[in-house]
Amino acid sequence: MSGRATCSRFGIGVSRTELVRGEFWVRKLAARITRFSDCSELTTLNRSDGEWVDVSPELESLLREALRANEVSGGLVNAAVLPSMVAIGYTRPLAEGAPVASLAVVHPAPRLVDVLAVRPGRARLERGCGLDLGGIAKGWMADRLTTQLGSNSLANLGGDLYAAGPGPAGGGWPVGFGGKTVMHRDQGAATSSVCKRRWGGLHHLIDPRTGLPSNSGLEEVSVVAATACDAEVVAKTALLLGPGLATAFCAAHAQAWWLHDR
């Protein structure tokens, strides 16, 4: 994951012990898949120099989700943007201090399918490439955390959330969406934004077509979809597409959406 995301859990008929256990699961898994730790699974893959490496079932599933997201988004959600993130100075979690703004030489990201291969229990990343699972990991974990917590629960990981069941009063779970409160039931939601994680005139959301921070004309997109991971993918794709195409993409892939331009 790309930083220290907040973890909120709620459940009807769920004990405090189960809620705490869910938080520990998120934090342990996040430590294994972050690019910011020298001993994480993801870092091992990023440093594998083109060799096949063993991966856990969780990382394998996330890598397959990254490939699916890349296909659904027409290449716009591309986990292989890590070299560009490093080039602009995003080399540590923002909680540890703002990065030093930089615009070192950047290049468009390679096609993910050309540089990442996944087999059962194994993965290979082309030499010189690097992955950041970022928002995909947040959505993926939110979906699975609600499964752990039960059929009437909500998990929110840094703004990527899934709400399962009828909620506390039977009409769904109240969630802030586009400045309003919307009732969610068996739905995911996510927001993609360039308004946060900013430093020195730069931001973290890379357009893989250029290797530079997105300049699409949209500043924030919120989406409701079937899962948190789906919502994350659609929101990021729409933001990168810009106002001209975002609405059409959301209409084809989301249940509801909200766009904020400049």
Rounded to 5 degrees, φ, ψ at 52 are: -70, 135
Which residues, including other chains, have CB under 8 Å from residue 144's CB and lie 6 or more apart?
none
In 3D space, the residue among 184, 194, 195 whose CA is nearest the CA of residue 155 turns out to be 184
The predicted pLDDT at position 6 comes to 80
Per-block average pLDDT, block size 10, for the chain (262 residues)?
71 96 95 95 98 98 98 98 90 76 80 98 97 95 97 96 97 92 97 81 89 94 98 98 97 96 81
d(CA 51, CA 47): 9
d(CA 189, CA 116): 27
Q: What is the pLDDT of residues 37-64, one digit of tens each?
A: 999 999 999 999 999 999 999 999 999 9
The predicted pLDDT at position 53 comes to 98
* β-strands 206-207, 173-177 pairing: unpaired
The predicted pLDDT at position 196 comes to 79
Tokens 């599933």 belong to residue: 61
Contact 82, 35 (CB under 8 A): yes
pTM of the model: 0.93
State both tokens at 220: 């924030």
User: In the CATH scheme, what is the homologous superfamily, with its name and number, of domain 7-261?
Assistant: ApbE-like domains (3.10.520.10)
Q: What is the pLDDT of residues 96-110, one digit of tens each?
A: 777 776 666 788 999
d(CA 125, CA 53): 9
The predicted pLDDT at position 3 comes to 47
